[in-house]
Amino acid sequence: MLIANAYANAGAAPQAAGFLDMLPMLAAMGLIFYFLIYRPQAKRSKEQKNLMTSLSQGNEVLTNGGLVGKIVKLTQDNDYLLLSLNDSTQITLKKDYITAVLPKGSIQSL
């Protein structure tokens, strides 16, 4: 009699949630990932790529390190440029380190 009561009280074990029950949660997490992480990063990457293609000789630019200068020369392979910081100082810089193109006359106003 005791064994019969034990089996009767145990009942059916609760079933684990199936894949279809978890599918809306996975879809929501995917959308959150897309809109909060992937989409803004892709937008920044596209803006940076457009900035790199628009660089030309004579542009006044700001670098990642905070240097402000004028582009004197772009190299043939277009990965590096010669940046003039003042009349006597020129540096070679990789194009990827350009943060922004400044309006003409920005260097004189500093």
Q: What CATH number did the domain enclosing 90 receive? A: 2.30.30.140
CB atoms within 10 A of CB 83: 23
Structural domain of residue 69, as residue ranges? 56-101
Q: Which one, of 89, 88, 95, 47, lies nearest residue 74 by Cα?
A: 95
The answer to whether residue 24 sits within a structural domain is no
CA distances (Å), 76 to each of 48, 50, 91, 92, in order?
Answer: 20, 19, 16, 13
77 lies in a domain?
Answer: yes
* Phi, psi (degrees; rounded to nearest 5) at 61: -130, 160
Q: Provide the percentage of residues in the chain whose pLDDT is more than 70.
A: 85
18 in a structural domain? no
Instruction: State the total domains in the chain.
Output: 1
pLDDT digits (tens, 9 = 90+) for 30-73: 999 999 999 999 999 999 999 988 888 999 999 999 999 999 99
Block residue for tokens 């004189």: 108
Is 11 within a domain?
no
pTM exceeds 0.75 for this model: no
Distances in Å between the Cα of 109 and the Cα atoms of 14, 67, 88, 99, 102 are 73, 15, 19, 19, 11
Q: Model confidence at 84, in pLDDT bands (50, 70, 90)?
A: very high
Q: Which residues of 25-49 are buried (b: 16+ CB within 10 A; e: fewer)?
A: eeeeeeeeeeeeeeeeeeeeeeeee
